[in-house]
Amino acid sequence: MADLKALGDAIIKGDQKTSVDITKQALDEGMAPGTILSDGLIAGMNVIGVRFKANEVYIPEVLIAARAMKMAMEILEPKLVEAGVEPLGKAMIGTVQGDLHDIGKNLVVMMLKGAGFEVLDIGVDVAPEVFVEKAKESGVQIVGLSALLTTTMPAMEKTIQAIKDAGLSVKTMVGGAPVTQAYADKIGADGYSADAASAVDLAKTLLN
């Protein structure tokens, strides 16, 4: 029998080969794709999230774990769709206009996927109107805005205003090195998170 605890451990270690092998084996044995996702991949990424918050692991380890999860997800995703497994929610994330930084954004994307969200990554240097247009097209429930420069923070405010002006019923969350809870409150964001692991908790809270 495929060992889902070993799958979780392989994700934690960032062992891509083992992650893929156990995922394939579990599917071959007729295990439900949703079970493989929740008890294997998500369980592993949850541990990484907890350790990251506690400063027991750092960004390189998170990226390695997320890569292993991504490889396993490539095999699992079509099966999840076939089985009609609904994602936890739909989120869209981009770095705001004038800002080309993407490491933080990419981490949040991977952590959200690791928690069972469907995530649309719209890249860097994204204008407010593009955020609005993509959110309308994709029907997401959550829009995440990232900024790493103090000079690009005003673009967050413009984007949130544009989303409100467009009358979109989405929740907005912001993050990035210079961003604070006070700033998030000032610009009318629905939530702020200090790191990628906390962003997952925040997204889950915003969904409810």
- The full DSSP string for 76-126 is HHHHHHHTTPPPS-EEEEEEBTT----HHHHHHHHHHHHTT-EEEE--SSB
pLDDT digits (tens, 9 = 90+) for 34-66: 999 999 999 999 999 899 989 999 989 998 999
Strands 118-121 and 171-175: unpaired
Identify whether the C-beta of residue 175 lies closer than 8 Å to the C-beta of residue 199: yes
Domains of the chain: 4-82 (1.10.1240.10), 90-207 (3.40.50.280)
In one-letter notation, the amino acid at residue 143 is V
For the chain, what percentages of helix, strand and coil (3-state, to nearest 5) are there?
A: 60, 10, 30
**For the chain, which residues score pLDDT lower than 70?**
none
166 to 122, 131, 133, 159: CA distances (angstroms): 19, 11, 9, 11
pLDDT at residue 208 in the model: 87
pLDDT at residue 197 in the model: 85
Identify whether the C-beta of residue 92 lies closer than 8 Å to the C-beta of residue 134: yes
